[in-house]
Amino acid sequence: MLPYASIPEAAAALGRNLTFAETLWFNYSAAKSNYFLYCHNILFLFLFLVFSLVPLPLVFLEFKRFSFVSSHKIQPKVHLSLTETFKCYKDIMHMFFLVVGPFQLISYPSIQYVPLTVTITVLIEGRDLFIDLLITIFFLVEDYTNYWIHRFLHNDWGYEKIHRVHHEYHAPIGFVAPYAHWVEILILGIPSFLGPAMVPGHMITFWLWKALRQIEAINTHSG
């Protein structure tokens, strides 16, 4: 929630008029709690926009089986049926609503230890490079820590007890990216949170990072 009751009050505090982006952010977030804004990660950004819509172009290419696309597939002769694809999506949504969603909703106390900001000065001139730098740091931290956790999950115990679920689909498509044992989903959430915990930024930067990370996962699992 922003500490200003109106746009003129915010402009007076900044000593200048708000930019267009700042005005949009003010109108949207001024009266909303930080908890509500934080929960966008799961309730809207990921469930609907990212995990429901982003894989669709890849699924379309998978079912159309264009020759110029199939020649670049890792497994060009292996395909999932429409029924299998829908089952994968349905199982993922069950996991999100039953595990990830509730965990996200109750995890807000932990995020309060990370000073994510919700101020209106997020998209002002000169911050683009800073945001790019933060996202780069987040990717580096996540990639390094995710590698070691993923490697652990490929030992005999980790694979048999947890990670084998992720490999049930032998012909990967974008929807498969978050398909995993609930323990794995929670464990692999740690690397994506480490970057923002180490180098906090704005809430919008946090949203952008989480969305880009999931889009990258969808792309790498597209086959």
Q: Looking at residues 50-71, what average pLDDT do you find? A: 79
**pLDDT of amino acid 126:** 43
**pLDDT of amino acid 42:** 62
**pLDDT of amino acid 34:** 74
Can you read off the two tokens belonging to residue 186? 């929670």
- The amino acid occupying position 134 is L
CB-CB neighbours of 49 under 10 Å:
14
Backbone angles phi, psi at 117, to 5 degrees: -100, 155
- Comparing 74 with 120, the larger pLDDT belongs to 74
Reply yes or no on whether the pLDDT at 199 is more than 60: yes
Greatest C-alpha distance within the chain: 63
**pLDDT of amino acid 1:** 54
Whether residue 14 lies inside any domain: the answer is: no
Give the confidence band of 123 by pLDDT, cuts at 50, 70, 90: very low
**pLDDT of amino acid 43:** 63
**pLDDT of amino acid 140:** 94
Q: Which of 59-73, 128-142, 195-209 has the lowest mean pLDDT?
A: 59-73
Range from 66-75, 121-130, 144-153, 190-199 that averages highest in pLDDT: 144-153
Whether residue 13 lies inside any domain: the answer is: no
Cβ neighbours of residue 222 under 8 Å, at least 6 residues apart?
Answer: 55, 58, 172, 173, 174
Average pLDDT, the chain: 79
Whether residue 62 lies inside any domain: the answer is: yes
Whether residue 17 lies inside any domain: the answer is: no
Reply yes or no on whether the pLDDT at 211 is more than 80: yes
Q: Looking at residues 41-48, what average pLDDT do you find? A: 64
Reply yes or no on whether the pLDDT at 113 is more than 70: no
- The amino acid occupying position 207 is W
Structural domain range at position 162: 33-220
**CA separation, residue 51 to residues 54, 76, 108, 210 (Å):** 6, 24, 22, 12
Query: Which residues pair with residue 117 across a beta bridge?
Result: 202
The answer to whether the pTM exceeds 0.85 is no
Whether residue 19 lies inside any domain: the answer is: no
> For residues 190-223, b (16+ Cβ closer than 10 Å) or e, as one string?
ebbbbbbeeebbbbbbbbbbbbebbbebbeebbb
Reply yes or no on whether the pLDDT at 202 is more than 80: no
**pLDDT of amino acid 186:** 85
Whether residue 114 lies inside any domain: the answer is: yes
**pLDDT of amino acid 125:** 42
Reply yes or no on whether the pLDDT at 107 is more than 80: no
Whether residue 2 lies inside any domain: the answer is: no
Whether residue 16 lies inside any domain: the answer is: no
Number of domain units in the chain: 1
